[in-house]
Amino acid sequence: MKQAKWIWHPGSLELYHSMLLHNRRTSARRYKEGNPSNRVGQARSVYYYPMWRVDGPVHNTMLKKTATIVKEETIELFSNTNDCAIIVDGVSYNKNTKIKLCPGTHTVALHGFCAESFPAFYVTGDVFASDRTYKVDIQGKRYGQSAGESELYTNINDKVEVFKFSYKNVKPVSIEQVNGGLLYDFGKEQFAKIVVKSTELDELTLYLGESREEALDTDYSHIVVNAELKKGSYTSLAVAFRYIFVKTQKELSISAKLEYLPIKNRGSFKSDNDFINKLWDTCAYTMLLNSREGFFDGIKRDRWIWSGDAYQSYIVNYYLGFDKDIVKRTVRALRGADPIEKHINTITDYTFFWLISLHDYYMYTGDKEFIEDIYTDVKDILSFIEGRLGDDGMFARREGDWVFMDWSTFDSDGPMCGEQILLAKAYEAVEICATINNDTALAEHARKRAEYIKAQVNKLYWNEQKGAFVDSYTSGRENVTRHANILAILFGYVSEERKQSIIKNVIYNKDITPITTPYFEFFELDAMCKIGDLKYMTDMLNSYWGGMLRLGATTIWEEFDPKKSGIEHYEMYGGKYEKSLCHAWGASPIYLLGRYGLGVRPTKPGYEEYEVAPNRLAIGNFEGKVPTPNGDIFVKISDTGCTVLSEIDGGVLLLNNKNYKIPKNKKLSVKFEN
> What pLDDT does 29 receive?
54
CA distances from 607 to 428, 475, 592, 651 (A): 20, 45, 18, 8
CATH code, 661: 2.60.420
Same domain, 52 and 30: yes
> What pLDDT does 141 receive?
82
Same domain, 497 and 616: no
> What pLDDT does 44 receive?
54
Q: pTM value? A: 0.95
Of residues 674 and 495, more confidently modeled: 495
The answer to whether residue 633 sits within a structural domain is yes
Q: How do residues 271-295 score in pLDDT, each as one tens digit? A: 999 999 999 999 999 999 999 999 9
Backbone angles phi, psi at 21, to 5 degrees: -70, -35
Helices (H), 190-262: 212-216
Instruction: DSSP letter for 35, please.
Output: E
Same domain, 480 and 541: no
Closest of 536, 529, 505 to residue 598, by C-alpha:
529
Same domain, 569 and 608: no
> What pLDDT does 399 receive?
87
How, if at all, do strands 60-69 and 135-136 pair?
Answer: antiparallel
Asked which of 514, 533, 551 is the last residue of a domain, the reply is 514
Is 38's pLDDT higher than 60?
A: no
Q: Are 596 and 532 in contact (CB under 8 A)?
A: no
Closest of 467, 487, 499 to residue 426, by C-alpha:
487
Same domain, 366 and 490: yes
Same domain, 510 and 522: no
> What pLDDT does 31 receive?
44
| Calpha distance 176→182 (Å, rounded) | 6
The answer to whether residue 38 sits within a structural domain is yes
Same domain, 353 and 491: yes
Q: Are 560 and 569 in contact (CB under 8 A)?
A: yes
Instruction: Indicate the number of domains in the chain.
Output: 5
Residue 324 CB neighbours (<10 A): 17
Q: How do residues 352-407 score in pLDDT, each as one tens digit? A: 999 999 999 999 999 999 999 999 999 999 999 999 999 999 998 888 899 999 99
> What pLDDT does 544 receive?
96
Burial 538-557 (b: 16+ CB within 10 A, else e): bebbbebbbebbeeebbbbb
The answer to whether residue 314 sits within a structural domain is yes
Burial 35-47 (b: 16+ CB within 10 A, else e): eeeebeeebebee
The three-point CA angle 608-308-160 to 5° equals: 75
Backbone angles phi, psi at 541, to 5 degrees: -60, -40
> What pLDDT does 200 receive?
83
Q: How do residues 564-613 score in pLDDT, each as one tens digit? A: 999 999 999 988 999 999 999 999 999 999 999 999 999 999 999 999 99
CATH code, 30: 2.60.120.260
Q: How do residues 76-130 score in pLDDT, each as one tens digit? A: 999 999 999 999 999 999 999 999 999 999 999 999 999 999 999 999 999 999 9
The answer to whether residue 328 sits within a structural domain is no
Same domain, 554 and 618: no
Same domain, 291 and 385: no
SS3 state of residue 569: helix
Q: Is 566 left (phi over 0), alpha (psi -120 to 50) or beta?
A: left
| 526-529: Cβ within 8 A, 24+ apart | 526/490, 526/588, 526/591, 526/592, 526/595, 527/486, 527/487, 527/489, 527/490, 529/592, 529/595, 529/596
CA distances from 210 to 168, 368, 583 (A): 19, 41, 12
Asked which of 597, 628, 644 is the last residue of a domain, the reply is 597
Domain enclosing residue 558, as ranges: 263-321+518-597
Asked which of 547, 573, 597 is the last residue of a domain, the reply is 597
Torsion of CA 209, 210, 216, 219, to 10 degrees: -50
Region 1-12 average pLDDT: 96
Same domain, 43 and 127: yes
**Three state DSSP letters for 165-203:** CEEEEECCCEEEEECCEEEEEEEEEEEEEEEEECCCCCE
User: How many Cα atoms sit within 13 Å of 433 on the Cβ side?
Assistant: 29
Region 2-16 average pLDDT: 97
Mean pLDDT score of the chain, rounded to an integer? 95
The answer to whether residue 28 sits within a structural domain is yes
SS3 state of residue 285: helix
Handedness of CA 49, 51, 53, 54 (dihedral sign): negative
Residue 224 pLDDT grade (very low, low, confident, very high; cuts 50, 70, 90): confident
The answer to whether residue 158 sits within a structural domain is no
Residue 41 pLDDT grade (very low, low, confident, very high; cuts 50, 70, 90): very low
CATH code, 464: 1.50.10.10
Q: How do residues 228-260 score in pLDDT, each as one tens digit? A: 888 889 999 999 999 999 999 887 899 999 999
Say which amino acid occupies 33: E
Same domain, 268 and 198: no
> What pLDDT does 201 receive?
83
Same domain, 439 and 550: no
Q: How do residues 137-176 score in pLDDT, each as one tens digit? A: 988 888 999 999 999 999 999 999 999 999 999 999 999 9
Q: How far is CA 368 from the centre of its chain?
A: 20
Closest of 531, 163, 566, 135 to residue 333, by C-alpha:
163
The answer to whether residue 148 sits within a structural domain is no
Closest of 411, 573, 544, 530 to residue 480, by C-alpha:
411
Region 632-655 average pLDDT: 98
The answer to whether residue 147 sits within a structural domain is no
